[in-house]
């Protein structure tokens, strides 16, 4: 995981190391120090770029494998069925590799509800760069609005499934969840919305 000699340490390599550490060790096990070591940089640089461990977690999740790493795969099929592909990629990520981070995320959400700075982090995470880039790549209007609508949709779904345990959403299998929610995502992603022409 150390950086290649000669390449400058950058935000991306720290984020990749952080994601790896959070996944392997969980939120409590991963430390700024262990992440810095994995990225081959000084812990002070991690602090400089990202601030606290909470902020780093959110940044790691925001540059999210869900959309970020799978952008080419998501785009390969074009606009058709995109809502379903985004949902499946999200569930695959959260219910397999990101599973160890779920508790930390719930904690972050809790902070976000009371603290303005955490709300800012969550805001960025909800409608972050990956989704906006996905929508831009499709040349669709109002990418920020579309990303926000999807962010609110996925947030409500995540709260119902992982936090409040609202049935039948909490224990439905992924195929059913996708069938229920994909048409909504598809509309927010690709269909005409009021304000598109202005």
189 is an interface residue for a copy of itself by CB under 8 A? no
58 is an interface residue for a copy of itself by CB under 8 A? no
By CB under 8 A, how many residues form the interface with a copy of itself?
A: 41
Structure tokens at 183: 């048409």
129 is an interface residue for a copy of itself by CB under 8 A? no
**Cβ of residue 15: shortest distance to a copy of itself, in angstroms?**
22
**Cβ of residue 191: shortest distance to a copy of itself, in angstroms?**
9
By beta-carbon proximity to a copy of itself, the closer residue of 32 and 83 is 83
**Cβ of residue 25: shortest distance to a copy of itself, in angstroms?**
23
174 is an interface residue for a copy of itself by CB under 8 A? no
167 is an interface residue for a copy of itself by CB under 8 A? yes
Report the largest interatomic distance among the alpha carbons of the chain, rounded to a whole angstrom: 53
Binding footprint of a copy of itself on the chain (CB under 8 A): 106, 109-110, 112-114, 119, 122-123, 126-127, 144-145, 148-149, 151-157, 159-160, 163-169, 176, 179-181, 183-184, 187, 193-195
């Amino acid at each position: 995981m150390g950086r290649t000699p000669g390449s400058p340490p950058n935000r991306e390599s720290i984020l990749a190391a952080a994601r790896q550490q959070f996944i392997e060790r969980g939120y409590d096990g991963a430390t700024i120090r262990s992440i810095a070591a994995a990225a081959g940089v000084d812990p002070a640089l991690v602090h400089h770029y990202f601030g606290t461990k909470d902020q780093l977690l959110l940044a790691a999740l925001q540059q999210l494998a869900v959309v970020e790493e799978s952008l080419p795969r998501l785009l390969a099929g074009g606009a058709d069925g995109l809502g379903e592909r985004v949902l499946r990629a999200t569930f695959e990520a959260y219910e397999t590799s990101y599973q160890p981070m779920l508790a930390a995320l719930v904690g972050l959400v809790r902070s976000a509800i009371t603290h303005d700075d955490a709300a800012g982090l969550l805001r960025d995470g909800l409608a972050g760069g990956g989704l906006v880039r996905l929508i831009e790549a499709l040349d669709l209007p109002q990418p920020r609005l579309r990303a926000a609508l999807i962010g609110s949709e996925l947030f409500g779904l995540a709260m119902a499934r992982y936090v409040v345990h609202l049935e039948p959403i909490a224990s439905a299998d992924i195929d059913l969840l996708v069938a229920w929610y994909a048409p909504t995502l598809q509309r927010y992603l690709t269909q005409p919305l009021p304000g598109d022409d202005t």
